[in-house]
Chains A and B, each alone.
Chain A
Amino acid sequence: MAVAKSDASLQDKKGERLAWAFPLALLLPATALMLVLYAWPFVSSVYRSFLAKGGELTLANYQKAFELYFRDVVFSLEVAILSTIVAAILSITLSAYVRLSSGRLVKLISLLYRLPIFIPFVVVGQMMRTFLAPHGLLNIFLAQVGVIDLNAPLQLFNMQGLVLSFVWKQAPFMTLIILGGFQMIDDAFVEAARSVGANILQVILRVLVPMNRASISVAIILAFTSTVGTFTLPFMLIGGKIPTTVTVDIAHRVTYFGDWGVANALGVLMYLMVLIMAIYYLRYSVKKGIYEA
C-alpha cells in the first residue's frame, strides 16, 4: 500500500516537472508556421535589401530607391491616407445611418453596401478604367447634366481616380466592421444622449463614435494597410506614369531589371509605412478592454 502511494507521488512529481512543457508544445505548431511563412521571408527580404548584386553589404539599394522613387513613396502615402480618411468618414456616416434608422430603405442599403466587398481589386480596376475614362460613364454623365464639357473631360487616371476607386472598394469593408461595432451599442446609450438634448449628429460624434473606437481603429488600420499594399488597382489605373505607387515600382524593378535589391528596399519602405499603424493596432488591442467593464 505504502509502496503504491510513493509510486503515485513520484509520478505526480514527474508530471509537475513536465507541466511547463505542455503549453509550449501546444504553441509549437503555430509558432513554427509563423517563423517559416512570415518571419523567415520577411527577415530574408530585409537582409537582401542591404545586398549589392555581387553579394556584399551596402546601402546603395536605399540610395537608389530614394533617388528614383521618393516621389512615389510620398504619392503612395498620400493615396493611402486620403482614401482611408474619405472611406472612414463615408463608412461611419453609412453605419450610423443604418444603426439609427429603420425601414425598408435601410434593409436595402444594408444589403447593397456589402456587394463591393466581394469584387476583387483587379475587377474593380477594370470597372474603374471604363467608368473613369475621359469618355467613360462618369464624364458622359457629368456632361449630360451640364457640369463639364466633354471636350475637356475630367482626367481621372491619377490620384483622384485612384482615391475614388479605393474608397469605392474599401468603404463597404470598413462599414461592415464599424456597423458591427455600432450594433453592439445598446439603444439606451443613444436614448440617454437624446434625452439630455443631443441631436442625431451629436449622438454620432459624442456617443457612437467614441464608444466604438476599437472597431473604427481596426477598420482604418486594415483598410490603410491593404490600400498601401495593393498593386493591381494602381497598375491598371495609372501604370508606369509618374507619379505612381511603390507597389507598381517594385513590380517594375523586378520585371524589367531583375533588380531584387532595390525592390526589397522599396518593400522595406512600404513596411515602415504600415509599421506605425501596426504598432498602434497592437498597442490598442493589448489595451483594449478599458471600456468593456
Chain B
Amino acid sequence: MPGLHLVGLLKRFGKTTAVNKVNLEIEDGEIMTLLGPSGCGKTTTLRCIAGFLIPDEGEIYLGDQSMTDLPPEKRGIGFVFQNYALWPHMTVFDNLSFGLRLRRVPRSKIKSRVDETLALVRLSGFAERYPRQLSGGQQQRIALARALVIQPRVLLLDEPLSNLDAQLREEMRFEIRELQKNLGITAVYVTHDQAEALVLSDRIAVMNNGIITQIGTPEQIYNQPNNRFVAGFIGLSSFVDGIVTGLDTARAYATVTTSDEVAIRVPAGSMALNQEVTLAIRPEHITLISDTSAEVPPDANLLEGEVIRIAYLGDVIDYRIQVGGWTLRVHTDTDTHLRPKDKVQLMIPAERINLISPDL
C-alpha cells in the first residue's frame, strides 16, 4: 500500500487559517497520529485528506497519484468518525455491505467479505442488528469494520475513541493498533489525548495553530520535545529560562545560569556561549533528597528549594517547589510526607534536562 504525502497543505475558514502549509510524509503501513489541542487544525487536515474539505493550497499524494482534485468517493479511503455515523436505518450487514454494493462486488463475495470483517472486529453474529441495538464500543467497532471492509488504501480515524468510557478506550487503543499492523494499512489518527497517541502511533505529529510543531516517535516526542508547546502538551514539564554561561566540551556539558544566579548543568547539544535557552524538566525526573547520605551521581544537579503546594494524585504526590525565583513540579511516591514551607534538596540528572528554543 502506498504512503501518503501532504505538500504545503493550506486551509482557511474566512480569515482564520486552520491549516497553515503543512508538509507531512506518512510511510506505507505506518500509523501517524495528529495530536494537538482543539482548534489546532488536526481534524481539518484529516478532512482535507478524506476530500470532505477542499484545501486552498497544497497537494495530497497517495503514492505518486495526486488526490487533491478527486471527490471523496474516488479516493479509496476508509473514515472512522467520532460519533461513528452508522446509518440507523440499515442493519450492521447493510452498513458494511453498502460500500461493496456500490463497488458492484458480487453478492456471494459481499457476504464473505462482511463476515470476515465482522470476525476481524470480533463481532461475528451481529450482522442482523441495528446500530441502536449495539453498545457504544460495539458501534465503534462496526464503524471501524465499515471503513475496513472496502479495503481502503488509507484509513483515517477522527477521535474514534473519545465517546467511549476510560476502560474501553484503553482496550480499544491496543485493538486498533493491532488491526492496523495486521492489515499493514497506512493510517492517520487524530486525537487530543496524548496517552492514546503515545500507545498507538508509529510516529506523532504534534500540531498547534495550524502547523506541525514536531514530528517523531512517541519516545522522541516525550523525551526530547523541541519546543515549549510540545513539552507542555505531552506530559508535564517545568520551564526554566537562562543563559549559557559555560561550556565543558570535553564532557559535553554546558552550564546554564538563571536570572537569579542559579547554575544548572545540562547536556551541551549545539549550544553557544551567551545563548538564551529554556530548560524543560519532567516532574518524574526530579528526585527529592531528604536523606543527606543518599548517593548523588557526579553529573547531577543539586538544588535547594521550599515546598509551596502539595497535591495528592493517588499514584503520586505532586509537589510545587520554589527554587530561587521559579518553581519546579516534582512527582514522588506517596510515601513522601512533606509539608508546605519544608526545605528540600532536589536532584536532577543533567541528561534528563531538555533544552528547547525559547522562541517556539
Contacts and interface: CB of A to CB of B under 8 A. Distances in A.
Interface of A: 186-189, 191-199, 202, 206-207, 210-211, 213, 291-293
B103 interface: yes
Contact of B73 (A198, A210, A213, A293): A198
A211 B72 contact: no
Contacts of A192: 79, 81, 85-87, 146
**Chain A contact residues: helix, strand, loop or mixed:** helix
Counting contact residues on chain B (CB < 8 A from A), the size range is: 20 to 34
A191 B78 CA distance: 11
Given A196-B98, A196-B99, A191 B81 contact: yes
Contacts, number: 73
Given A211-B88, A291-B88, A194 B81 contact: no
Interface in B265-286: none
B89 A195 contact: no
13 contacts: A186-B85, A187-B52, A188-B82, A193-B98, A194-B51, A194-B71, A194-B72, A196-B98, A199-B71, A206-B98, A291-B88, A293-B88, A293-B133
B89 A197 contact: no
B83 interface: yes
A191 B103 contact: no
B82 to A, nearest CB: 8
Contacts of A199: 71, 73
B87 A195 contact: no
* In the complex, the 7 A-B pairs of residues with the closest C-beta atoms, listed nearest first: A293-B132, A196-B99, A188-B85, A194-B72, A195-B79, A197-B102, A192-B85
Given A206-B98, A211-B89, A291-B89, A195 B50 contact: yes
Contacts of A213: 89
Nearest to B146: A196
B62 interface: no
Interface string B100-141: 001100000000000000000000000000111100000000
Contacts of B75: 195
Contacts of A210: 87, 89
A213 B50 CA distance: 29
Contacts of B71: 194, 199
Candidate in A194, A198, A291, A293 with the most chain B CB atoms within 10 angstroms:
A194
B264 interface: no
Contacts of A211: 87-89
Nearest to A187: B52
A187 B52 CA distance: 10
Contacts of B98: 193, 196, 198, 206
B77 interface: yes
Nearest to B150: A196
A197 B87 CA distance: 15
B102 A191 contact: no
Given A207-B87, A291-B89, A202 B102 contact: yes
B60 interface: no
Contacts of A188: 81-83, 85
B244 interface: no
Contacts of B131: 293
